[in-house]
Structure 1
Amino acid sequence: MSPVARRIVREIHDEPHLEDRRITVRFVEEQVEDRGLDPRTVADRYDLDVADVYRALTYYHDNPEEMRAIERQRRAAVEEYEHYTTDPSDVRN
Structure 2
Amino acid sequence: MSQVARRIVRELHDEPHLEGRRTTVRFIKTQVEDRGLDPRTVADRHDLDVADVYRALTYYHDNREEMRTVEREREAAVEDHRNLTTDPDDVRD
Number of aligned residue pairs = 89
- The SS at the match of 1:69 is helix
Q: After the TM superposition, which residues 35-46 of structure 1 pair with which residues of structure 2 at under 5 Å, given as runs?
A: 35-46=35-46
Matches of 1:11 and 1:74, distance apart in 2: 17
Q: Deviations over 1:18-55 (max 9, x none)?
A: 01110000000000000000000000000000000000
Q: Percent identity?
A: 76
1:5, CA displacement in angstroms? 1.7
Tell me the TM-score normalised to structure 2 length.
Answer: 0.90
User: In 1, Cα distance between the equivalents of 2:4 and 2:80?
Assistant: 37
The within-5 A match list for 1:19-58 is 19-58=19-58
What is the TM-score of this pair, normalised by structure 1?
A: 0.90
Structure 2 unpaired stretches of 5+? none
Is 1:5–2:12 an aligned residue pair? no
Q: Return the alpha-carbon distance in structure 1 between the equivalents of residues 88 and 47 of structure 2.
A: 35
- d(CA) in 1 for partners of 2:25, 2:79: 22
Q: Is the alpha carbon distance of 1:48 and 1:65 closer, same or farther for their aligned partners in structure 2, counting shifts above 3 Å?
A: same
Runs of 4+ with deviation above 3 angstroms? none
Task: Report the RMSD for the aligned CA atoms in angstroms.
Answer: 1.4
